[in-house]
Amino acid sequence: MVKEFNVIQADRIIEMAWEDRTPFEAIAFQFGISESGVIELMRRELKPSSFRLWRKRVNSGVSQKHLMKRNPEIDRFKCKRQRTISHNKISKR
């Protein structure tokens, strides 16, 4: 059985679950819900087609939803072009 969340918390969990770079461990740390609980929440809150699409993304090799699948040198997301961005515009080279 899934822990009950208010609308704002449920929306945030769904948002974090859709993000490829947010691991299930981060969701568990922040909301105290396991991976199976997230799956159950997603199944309950999403349309069936959206849930199937999400499960397909998570189970494919593209998603890094588990910390064990991630490259150990990566401890946070950083855009490759981040140094060249200044004042919300990409600087010309």
- For residue range 25-68, list pLDDT tens digits in order: 888 989 999 989 999 999 999 999 999 999 988 887 655 666 66
pTM of the entire predicted model: 0.65
- Spatial separation of the C-alpha atoms in residues 39 and 85, rounded to whole Å: 37
The vertex-13 CA angle with 79 and 40, nearest 5°, equals 130
CA atoms within 13 A on the CB side of 59: 7
**Model pLDDT for residues 2-25, shown as the tens digit of each residue:** 678 889 999 999 999 988 778 888
CA atoms within 13 A on the CB side of 42: 24
- Spatial separation of the C-alpha atoms in residues 42 and 17, rounded to whole Å: 8
For the record, the structure tokens of 36 come out as 């199976």
